[in-house]
Structure 1
Amino acid sequence: MATSNDLLIKHRSVIEFLAAEGCSAANIHARMKTVYGEMCISDCAVRKWVRIFKGEDPRETILRDRKRSGSPFPHRSQLIERKLMHD
């Protein structure tokens, strides 16, 4: 079964391909909505990725999210457990 991250990468691949063919963001979203239904990303997200893909060299495009600064937040129960252990 595909993870949500796998599905996002598939969506971005479709957007990259159709944008390279010259399809508009609205057309890409409509086509993706037909295929993916409720699992389709938003129109706003499609427009964002079309802008990104049209502005980059396709050979250098990275489909995965780039690392962000900072470390991930631990789960709330982990925070509570740590506080209890230190008291």
Structure 2
Amino acid sequence: MVKCAFQTAVCKWVRIFKGEDPRETILRDGKRSGRPLSASLMAHQEKVDCMIRANRRVKQKEIANAVGISKERVHHIVTTVLGYRKVSSRWVPRQLTVEMKAQGKDMCTQLLELSTVFILA
């Protein structure tokens, strides 16, 4: 009987993952000892936020070079932690701030008052 490389590999995987009960075999990595993630610290987040507020057209590569962290960490901080996204090559917040909501409310009430004046006239 001639075995091919594929069959040999499959047999090896079966031996590796086979336990007393194959359903109880854990395939996920456990926690590892080692260096913790330090690129997403509050200090880095504040620096990134300040750079974006100062220049909305700043590039992730420029932020990474200035702060001293990887582009992937910068992308994570900007999009996930700070909640920014790119629109027309500018970073804009994903959610409205309290000031933006208040300004929108004021504009709506002014428009409502104007519409009632025109209806009554």
TM norm structure 1: 0.36
Output the TM-score relative to the length of structure 2: 0.29
Normalized per residue, the structure richer in helix is 1
Higher strand content, 1 or 2? 2
| Bigger relative CO (Cα 8 Å, ≥ 6 apart) | 1
Which has the larger Rg? Answer: 2
